[in-house]
């Protein structure tokens, strides 16, 4: 930790305050900004001029695919107004001119050492500075070392056999000759059909005598519709540039846009969906599909509708059906590998001198002196172009021998995948920053916006340290572990990890498969960075003459989808339930449930009636699709004994049915205040008795019955188990209590920590109890099962609790008490979840693993074999 460094040398010993590696978009702005706040800075750049990625990627057709107005700096209104982009998507030369203009305008070159490659950097803990060495033999010391090396700057080493033997011309899109290349009259091969291949292939085809494209994986692409900047775009920007930029900073992807849709793709008619896709296709906007429907990034079936739409476009353009089919991506979901926008890409395959070789069917055997041999053919070539991509996000960073505290090598620390706090810093490497590092939105966003945000954050941090007389900063292990977990959690609920993409490190042999960027969005990420600062640099340890200080902790502890739901709920501005008359509260909860996903399909669903404790009760029976007879789960819905019914928990019951492969019978027990304590539990007990006795009539198997309930329904399930034990039956094989009410006691910590802001509030819980039971009754074990004198001999239990739930601690207490009484009880705490997470099937996707565990527990209780496939996931396309 920072505090462990015993600094002896004077800080003035360092040659400069900051060394920045890289003079691209990030390095240039960082230099400008650091100068502005008074830090001496040297930028080291391996190229002989500024530009970074735009310096190196000079291949034909290279241009940006975020509109240039958006893909430019926003920090200086004058710079914005004096530079006019000539095209919607500027070419590489124009972008390079722009960066050159920025370098000149702010006189940046005088602090940049060109043609200088950093080879190593080592932290000297005693002097509290970094010692940086270069390939020109320079050695310079600095207090802060910043890698602004870009996410896609280290080209992948060609991994094609025989490449050294080729006697013709070899080119790499990421290292294109400055003089340009004339392919006229030549037989050319392009290997690779990612963004670089897709941009360059149509242009190379215009020159070459013959072009052969060697494609391993087809990619999704669609027309960019490039041209002059549209009048509408210009007007939107020029009306209020500051507001326009602010909207970009607080957008999901770093470009001002309407908020992402809340509508699910399969919720609308096919006609409406296709109209949306046609509009997205016609827009030429790279991000148009990403925001078209809420679930395209997470639901395989929804995403497949986009895939098929785009495949249809390819089939309509490419005349040769076999070539068209080979160009149709089928091994990954749309967006899970970086999609492209193009100019005449698919049309190029209609040219007579252009040929596609599908390497999946006809792999490259070797490159020879004169061309390429595949398994079935030989291609004589004059030139080969490698458009084979980059060692993304981490490659350029670990290519430098970076040693942190105690000589720890960054390459070793990241051997199993990068670990960072906010993508900005990494534990063990004090005063070392990465701009748009792994674990930040970076490549999933408009890079210009993300770069500016990181540069501003780092500059402000350094200024803060100077003001507070702090020399050393380093993230804590707790904060870093929390962020790494959050980044992984976020990716896990998307389709991204299913593709063999460079986002996953899958394009580089031997690279660990870890999702590298942060998928939570530019807006949420910026909020997290701001929150870290506002909370006294949460998760960072500082040291220096100003004292050692650390406010340790984890930012963004809620699951991503839970945050999104909470934001949505907040935006609705609903009245607190407990301020409403009961009828209105019920109507509101029904209305809120109207548009949610329906849950999985089951074999069949039948409504019926059974005798309760004081009259008939409705029930709903869900039967699995497979052949029976099945065991039975009796389910009790949530709603604080006041709200809820058969419909409220319908998706959850379907999910339980599929996951447990059991019949689920949901019981509509009487609700308060019409029927107060103990009506609900008496009905629950009567229902279980009747269902046990009528198992066969329900299509189930006699003697194999478990109970399950959520919230107040968990209370009913727990109490029913105690009543059945005391009454000598019916036999209950197990109980699953999901965030149950187990005790009337508002003094537990979770009632304070999670009192409000997480849907179920402490005051709502009081309102529920007030409607349900008198204060004397609340102590009764039939109301507060935790208070039962004897908890032994109860059915095996799974008790599920959620971290941000007022009921968390009483659930945990019940699990502990059951275990202490000798019951086979397991407690499943759910990290980052709220009270309502688990029944929110297909809404809170991060709850799926807990739902899977619930299904597994029910199967175990009921003796149902484990499923052969994960029921929660549709197979990958
Ligand atoms: O690289 P890529 P890129 N044999 O990794 C194939 C940004 N960018 O330079 O998918 C045969 O996407 C590889 O096949 P597979 C943008 O973020 C932006 O094109 O691994 N083929 C793939 O087809 C982009 O995503 C712009 O099976 C081999 C291709 O080579 C990122 O940079 C323009 C192979 C590599 O595609 C990288 O794009 C350009 C082998 N041995 C780039 N090895 C803009 O428009 C790899 N491939 C702003």
Position 10 scores a pLDDT of 42
Q: Which residue has the higher pLDDT, 8 or 63?
A: 63
Q: What is the DSSP string of 517-531?
A: S-TT-HHHHHHHHHH
Q: Which helix (H) or strand (E) covers residue 858, if one does?
A: helix 848-862
Three-class DSSP category at 736: strand
Reported as a single tens digit per residue, the pLDDT across 319-362 is 999 999 999 999 999 999 999 999 999 999 999 999 999 999 99
Question: Which of 89, 96, 195, 391 has most ligand 1 atoms within 8 Å of its beta carbon, as the pocket-test mutant?
Answer: 195
The angle at the Cα of 402, spanning 389 to 5, to the nearest 5 degrees, equals: 150
Q: What residues pair up with 332 in beta bridges, in sequence order?
A: none
Phi-psi sector, 326: left (phi>0), alpha (psi -120 to 50), beta:
alpha
Question: Which of 190, 507, 516 has most ligand 1 atoms within 8 Å of its beta carbon, as the pocket-test mutant?
Answer: 507
Q: How far is the CA of 195 from the centre of ligand 1 (A)?
A: 6
Q: From atom 10 of ligand 1, which residue's Cα is the shortest distance away?
A: 217
- The answer to whether 852 and 600 are in contact (CB under 8 A) is no
Can you say how many angstroms the Cα of residue 32 is from the centroid of all Cα atoms in its chain? 32
Tokens representing 801 are 């609790």
Taking alpha carbons only, the member of 311, 310, 278, 271 closest to residue 292 is 278
Position 874 scores a pLDDT of 37
Long-range pairs, 529-536, Cβ under 8 A, ≥24: 529/422, 529/424, 529/453, 529/457, 531/555, 532/422, 533/457, 533/460, 533/461, 533/464
What residues have CB less than 8 Å from 549, skipping those under 6 apart? 470, 536, 541, 542
**E strands, 73-209, in order:** 112-113, 118-124, 129-134, 139-147, 169-172, 187-191
Q: How far is the CA of 612 from the centre of ligand 1 (A)?
A: 64
Position 869 scores a pLDDT of 63
Q: From atom 48 of ligand 1, which residue's Cα is the shortest distance away?
A: 64
Q: How far is the CA of 389 from the centre of ligand 1 (A)?
A: 4
Q: How far is the CA of 877 from the centre of ligand 1 (A)?
A: 21
Q: How far is the CA of 295 from the centre of ligand 1 (A)?
A: 26
Atom of ligand 1 nearest to the CA of 386: 30
Q: From atom 3 of ligand 1, which residue's Cα is the shortest distance away?
A: 389
Tokens representing 214 are 């060697």
Q: Which helix (H) or strand (E) covers residue 542, if one does?
A: strand 540-543
Alpha-carbon span 639 to 457, nearest angstrom? 44
* Mean pLDDT along residues 296-301: 96
> How far, in Å, are 408, 492, 855 from residue 2 at the CA level?
15, 32, 46
- The answer to whether 440 and 518 are in contact (CB under 8 A) is yes
- The answer to whether 689 and 702 are in contact (CB under 8 A) is no
Question: Which of 216, 217, 221, 343 has most ligand 1 atoms within 8 Å of its beta carbon, as the pocket-test mutant?
Answer: 216
Terminal C-alpha separation, the chain: 46
What residues have CB less than 8 Å from 457, skipping those under 6 apart? 424, 529, 533
- The answer to whether 715 and 696 are in contact (CB under 8 A) is no
**Greatest Cα pair distance in the chain:** 95
Taking alpha carbons only, the member of 495, 493, 565 closest to residue 303 is 495
Position 876 scores a pLDDT of 33
Alpha-carbon span 14 to 141, nearest angstrom? 5
Q: How far is the CA of 505 from the centre of ligand 1 (A)?
A: 12
- The answer to whether 653 and 632 are in contact (CB under 8 A) is no
Residue 601 scores a pLDDT above 80: yes
pLDDT tier, 393 (very low <50, low <70, confident <90, very high otherwise): very high
Measure the CA dihedral 800/804/809/810, to 10°.
-60
Q: How far is the CA of 492 from the centre of ligand 1 (A)?
A: 23
Question: Which of 218, 387, 389 has most ligand 1 atoms within 8 Å of its beta carbon, as the pocket-test mutant?
Answer: 389
Q: How far is the CA of 601 from the centre of ligand 1 (A)?
A: 39
- The answer to whether 80 and 241 are in contact (CB under 8 A) is yes
Q: How far is the CA of 212 from the centre of ligand 1 (A)?
A: 17
Question: Which of 53, 163, 174, 194 has most ligand 1 atoms within 8 Å of its beta carbon, as the pocket-test mutant?
Answer: 194
* Mean pLDDT along residues 260-266: 90
Q: From atom 34 of ligand 1, which residue's Cα is the shortest distance away?
A: 388
Alpha-carbon span 828 to 798, nearest angstrom? 7
Q: From atom 1 of ligand 1, which residue's Cα is the shortest distance away?
A: 389
Taking alpha carbons only, the member of 833, 827, 825 closest to residue 802 is 833
Position 628 scores a pLDDT of 83
Position 26 scores a pLDDT of 98
What residues have CB less than 8 Å from 212, skipping those under 6 apart? 187, 188, 189, 190, 354, 355, 356, 357, 372, 379, 381
Average pLDDT, the chain: 96
- The answer to whether 461 and 473 are in contact (CB under 8 A) is yes
Atom of ligand 1 nearest to the CA of 64: 48
Q: From atom 20 of ligand 1, which residue's Cα is the shortest distance away?
A: 507
Atom of ligand 1 nearest to the CA of 192: 30
Pocket of ligand 1 (CB under 6 A): 64-65, 152, 159-160, 173, 191-197, 199, 214, 216-217, 338, 359, 387-390, 443, 502, 507
Q: From atom 12 of ligand 1, which residue's Cα is the shortest distance away?
A: 194
One-letter-per-residue 3-state SS of 661-718: CCEEEEECCCCCCCCCCCHHHHHHHHHHHHHHHCCHHHCEEEEEEEEEEECHHHHHHH
φ, ψ for residue 266, nearest 5 deg: -90, 5
Q: How far is the CA of 376 from the centre of ligand 1 (A)?
A: 25
Q: How far is the CA of 218 from the centre of ligand 1 (A)?
A: 10
Q: How far is the CA of 196 from the centre of ligand 1 (A)?
A: 6
Q: From atom 18 of ligand 1, which residue's Cα is the shortest distance away?
A: 195
Q: Which helix (H) or strand (E) covers residue 577, if one does?
A: none
Atom of ligand 1 nearest to the CA of 197: 19
Atom of ligand 1 nearest to the CA of 219: 23
Tokens representing 728 are 């000598």
* Mean pLDDT along residues 118-129: 96
> How far, in Å, are 59, 193, 204, 437, 534 from residue 367 at the CA level?
22, 18, 20, 35, 57
Helices (H), 728-842: 749-753, 762-772, 808-820
Q: What is the DSSP string of 192-218?
A: --SHHHHHHHHHHHHH-SEEEEEESS-
Atom of ligand 1 nearest to the CA of 388: 30
Alpha-carbon span 680 to 700, nearest angstrom? 24
Q: From atom 26 of ligand 1, which residue's Cα is the shortest distance away?
A: 195
Q: Is 547 exposed, middle or buried (0-12, 13-18, 19+ CB in 10 A)?
A: exposed
Q: How far is the CA of 485 from the centre of ligand 1 (A)?
A: 28
What residues have CB less than 8 Å from 97, skipping those under 6 apart? none
Tokens representing 398 are 């670990």
Alpha-carbon span 475 to 483, nearest angstrom? 11
- Report the percentage of the chain scoring pLDDT > 90: 95
Q: How far is the CA of 390 from the centre of ligand 1 (A)?
A: 7
Q: How far is the CA of 156 from the centre of ligand 1 (A)?
A: 10
Can you say how many angstroms the Cα of residue 559 is from the centroid of all Cα atoms in its chain? 10
Alpha-carbon span 154 to 395, nearest angstrom? 6
Q: How far is the CA of 224 from the centre of ligand 1 (A)?
A: 18
Question: Which of 196, 441, 500 has most ligand 1 atoms within 8 Å of its beta carbon, as the pocket-test mutant?
Answer: 196
Q: How far is the CA of 518 from the centre of ligand 1 (A)?
A: 20
- The number of residues making up the chain comes to 877
Q: From atom 29 of ligand 1, which residue's Cα is the shortest distance away?
A: 192
Atom of ligand 1 nearest to the CA of 173: 9
> How far, in Å, are 40, 43, 435, 655 from residue 35 at the CA level?
6, 12, 17, 58
Alpha-carbon span 30 to 461, nearest angstrom? 13
- Report the percentage of the chain scoring pLDDT > 70: 98
pLDDT tier, 870 (very low <50, low <70, confident <90, very high otherwise): low
Reported as a single tens digit per residue, the pLDDT across 29-70 is 999 999 999 999 999 999 999 999 999 999 999 999 999 999
SS3 of the chain: helix, strand, coil, percent, to 5 = 35, 20, 45
Reported as a single tens digit per residue, the pLDDT across 511-553 is 999 999 999 999 999 999 999 999 999 999 999 999 999 999 9
Q: How far is the CA of 220 from the centre of ligand 1 (A)?
A: 12
Q: How far is the CA of 186 from the centre of ligand 1 (A)?
A: 23
What residues have CB less than 8 Å from 132, skipping those under 6 apart? 19, 44, 118, 120, 121, 138, 139, 140, 141, 142, 145
Atom of ligand 1 nearest to the CA of 340: 45
Q: From atom 37 of ligand 1, which residue's Cα is the shortest distance away?
A: 389
Position 868 scores a pLDDT of 76
φ, ψ for residue 75, nearest 5 deg: -75, -15
Q: What residues pair up with 20 in beta bridges, in sequence order?
A: 43, 146
């Amino acid at each position: 930790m920072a505090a462990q460094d015993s600094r002896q040398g004077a800080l003035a010993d360092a040659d400069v305050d900051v060394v920045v590696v890289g003079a691209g978009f990030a390095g240039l702005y960082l230099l400008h900004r650091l100068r502005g706040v008074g830090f001496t800075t040297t930028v080291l750049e391996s190229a002989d001029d500024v530009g970074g990625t735009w310096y190196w990627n000079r291949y034909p057709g290279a241009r940006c695919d975020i509109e240039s107005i958006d893909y430019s700096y926003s920090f200086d209104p004058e710079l914005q107004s004096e530079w006019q982009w000539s095209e919607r998507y500027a070419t590489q030369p124009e972008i390079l001119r722009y960066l050159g203009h920025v370098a000149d305008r702010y006189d940046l070159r005088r602090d940049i050492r060109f043609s200088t490659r950093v080879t190593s950097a080592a932290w000297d803990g005693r002097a509290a500075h970094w010692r940086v060495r270069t390939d020109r033999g320079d050695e310079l010391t600095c207090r802060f070392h910043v890698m602004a090396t870009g996410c896609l700057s280290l080209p992948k080493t060609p991994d094609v056999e025989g490449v050294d033997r080729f006697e013709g011309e070899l080119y790499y899109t990421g290292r294109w000759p400055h003089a340009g290349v004339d392919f006229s009259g030549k037989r050319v091969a392009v290997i690779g059909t990612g963004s670089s291949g897709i941009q360059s292939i149509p242009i190379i085809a215009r020159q070459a005598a013959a072009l052969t494209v060697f494609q391993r994986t087809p990619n999704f692409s669609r027309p960019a519709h490039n041209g002059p900047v549209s009048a509408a775009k210009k007007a939107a920007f020029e009306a209020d540039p500051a507001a326009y930029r602010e909207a970009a900073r607080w957008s999901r992807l770093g470009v001002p846009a309407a908020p992402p849709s809340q509508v699910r793709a399969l919720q609308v008619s096919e006609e409406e969906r296709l109209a949306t896709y046609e509009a997205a296709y016609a827009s030429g906007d790279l991000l148009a599909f990403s925001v078209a429907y809420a679930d395209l990034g997470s639901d395989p079936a929804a995403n497949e509708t986009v895939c098929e739409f785009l495949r249809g476009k390819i089939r309509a353009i490419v005349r040769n059906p076999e070539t068209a089919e080979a160009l149709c991506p089928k091994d990954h979901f749309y967006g899970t590998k970086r999609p492209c926008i193009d100019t005449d890409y698919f049309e190029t395959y209609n040219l007579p001198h252009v040929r596609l070789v599908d390497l999946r069917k006809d792999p490259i055997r070797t490159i020879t002196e004169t061309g390429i041999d595949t398994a079935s053919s030989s291609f004589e070539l004059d030139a080969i172009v490698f458009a084979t991509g980059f060692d993304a996000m981490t490659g350029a960073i670990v290519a430098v021998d970076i040693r942190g505290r105690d000589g720890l090598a960054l390459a070793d620390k990241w051997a199993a995948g990068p670990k960072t706090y906010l993508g900005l810093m990494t534990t063990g490497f004090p005063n070392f920053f990465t701009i748009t590092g792994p674990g930040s939105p970076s490549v999933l966003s408009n890079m210009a916006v993300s770069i500016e945000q990181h540069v501003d954050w780092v500059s402000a941090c350094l200024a803060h340290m100077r003001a507070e007389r702090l020399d050393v900063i380093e993230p804590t292990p707790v904060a870093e572990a929390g962020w790494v977990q959050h980044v992984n959690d976020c990716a896990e609920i998307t389709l991204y990890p299913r593709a063999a993409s460079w986002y996953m490190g899958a394009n580089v042999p031997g690279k660990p498969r870890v999702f590298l960027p942060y998928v939570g969005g530019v807006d949420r990420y910026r909020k997290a960075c701001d929150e870290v600062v506002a909370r006294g640099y949460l998760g960072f340890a500082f040291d220096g003459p100003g004292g050692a200080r650390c406010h340790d902790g984890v930012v963004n502890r809620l699951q991503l989808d839970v945050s999104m739901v909470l934001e949505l709920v907040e935006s609705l501005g609903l009245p607190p339930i407990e301020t409403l008359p009961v009828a209105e509260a019920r109507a509101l909860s029904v209305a809120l449930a109207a548009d949610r996903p329906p849950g999985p399909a089951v074999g069949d669903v039948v409504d019926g009636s059974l005798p309760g404790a004081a009259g008939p009760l409705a029930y709903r029976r869900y039967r699995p699709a497979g052949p029976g007879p099945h065991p039975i789960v009796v389910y009790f819905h949530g709603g604080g004994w006041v709200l809820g019914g058969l419909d409220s928990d319908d998706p959850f019951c379907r999910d339980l049915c599929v996951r447990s492969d059991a019949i689920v019978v949901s019981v509509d027990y009487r609700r308060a205040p019409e029927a107060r304590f103990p009506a609900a539990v008496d009905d629950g007990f009567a229902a279980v008795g009747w269902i046990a006795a009528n198992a066969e009539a329900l299509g189930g198997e006699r003697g194999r019955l478990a109970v399950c309930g959520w919230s107040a329904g968990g209370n009913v399930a727990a109490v029913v188990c105690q009543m059945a034990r005391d009454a000598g039956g019916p036999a209950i094989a197990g109980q699953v209590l999901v965030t149950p009410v187990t005790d009337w006691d508002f003094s537990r910590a979770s009632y304070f920590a999670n009192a409000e802001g997480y849907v179920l509030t402490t005051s709502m819980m009081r309102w529920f109890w007030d409607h349900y039971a008198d204060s004397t009754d609340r102590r009764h074990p039939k109301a507060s099962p935790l208070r039962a004198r004897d908890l032994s001999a109860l059915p095996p239990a799974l008790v599920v609790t959620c971290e941000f739930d007022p009921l968390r601690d009483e659930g945990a207490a019940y699990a502990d008490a059951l275990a202490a009484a000798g019951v086979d009880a397991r407690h499943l705490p759910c990290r980052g979840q709220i009270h309502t997470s688990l029944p929110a099937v297909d809404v809170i996707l991060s709850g799926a693993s807990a739902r899977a565990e619930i299904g597994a527990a029910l199967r175990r209780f009921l003796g149902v074999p484990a499923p052969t496939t994960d029921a929660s996931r549709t197979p990958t396309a």
